[in-house]
Amino acid sequence: MHGAAIVGQNRQLARDVFLLSLQAPELARAAAPGQFLMLRVTSGPEPLLARPFSIHAVEGDDVGVLYRVVGRGTRLLAQATAGQRLELWGPLGRGFDLALERPLLVAGGMGIAPLRFAAQRLTARGARPRLLCGLASATGLGGLVEAVDECLTAQSCAVSWVTEDGSLGERGLVTALLDRALEGVDGVLCCGPMAMLRAVAEACGRQGVACQVSLEAPMACGVGACLGCVIPAADGGYLRACQEGPVLPAAAVDWPRLA
């Protein structure tokens, strides 16, 4: 679908993290966890390329986007107000395979964005997901932590926090806790920085647990035309993150060539 969405809310959760709610009934009906949308702020003096964002939540006709302000596009987005029209297309790409009973969701930082929607659909299917969520520090991110705890607990998804500075939950890296966390798990869904994805993929490989990774490659078109998002594949070829991904089986990725 290519069209417009109306901003319902654009709530600041933390210093540079916002939760955008869009009235987009067609998108809400069609969206699956792990898929993304391309969003363009149409007001303002300069034309901007659309930016890719994961679908964070679907509630009725509303689609949620959780985003961090990092540059020009997200700075403009942070200024969007209720009632404003934004240009969007989606849902795009391939999402998670949710045929799991005891999945572990592993998030690094903003990697939580697609995993909340996955948790929502997994519990609706009768699965019992758990979330392991890592942050460099929880300092200044209280609103984000609260929002994640609130919505995932409401979906009966147990949340464990890990922070590098020990400001919340266990101190350390998500990957250090993985071997223990993988016990009894029948699949892992993972989103976060590339180094974390690779470490999670390796840990899952060692324990024989199927792992799906959501890859955030830089994207210009989002629809398979520009090849700006290609990922080296394990078979020696390439995969477009926007078409064959963004969610891929970890075993399909050539991790050494990606680094």
Binding residues for [2Fe-2S] cluster: 221, 226, 229, 242
Q: How many C-beta atoms lie closer than 10 Å to residue 39's C-beta?
A: 24
Interface residues for ligand FAD in 103-132 (CB under 6 A)?
Answer: 110, 113
CB of 202 to ligand FAD, least distance (A): 21
Q: In this complex, which beta carbon is closest to ligand FAD, that of residue 148 or of residue 182?
A: 148
In 3D, which of 216, 250, 252, 219 has the Cα closest to residue 233?
252
Residue 182 and residue 203 in contact, taking contact as beta carbons nearer than 8 Å? yes
Q: Where are the beta strands (DSSP E) in the chain?
A: 2-14, 17-23, 36-40, 51-54, 57-59, 62-68, 85-92, 103-108, 130-135, 158-163, 170-171, 187-191, 211-214, 230-232, 238-240, 247-249
Task: Please check whether residue 142 is in contact with residue 15, taking contact to mean a CB–CB distance below 8 angstroms.
Answer: no
Q: Which residues participate in the annotated binding site for FAD?
A: 51-54, 66-68, 73-74
Which lies closer to ligand FAD via its Cβ, residue 41 or residue 182? 41
Q: According to the binding rule CB under 6 A, does residue 78 interact with ligand FES?
A: no
Lay out the site mask for ligand FES across 141-180 (x = CB under 6 A, - = otherwise).
----------------------------------------
Contact 32, 19 (CB under 8 A): no
Query: What does the block give as tokens for 171?
Result: 């101190």
Tell me which residue of 259, 213, 257, 222 sits closest to 240, measured CA to CA: 222
Q: Is 53 in the site for ligand FAD (CB under 6 A)?
A: yes
Judged by CB under 6 A, how many residues of this single chain contact ligand FES? 12
Residue with tokens 């689609």: 63
Distance CA 234, CA 248 (A): 11
Enumerate residues 215-244 that contact ligand FES by CB under 6 A.
Answer: 219-222, 224-229, 240, 242
Known binding positions: 51-54, 66-68, 73-74, 221, 226, 229, 242
The correct pick among 57, 67, 88, 213 for binding ligand FAD (CB under 6 A) is 67
Binding region for ligand FES (CB under 6 A): 219-222, 224-229, 240, 242
Binding region for ligand FAD (CB under 6 A): 36, 51-54, 66-68, 70-74, 110, 113, 216-219, 246
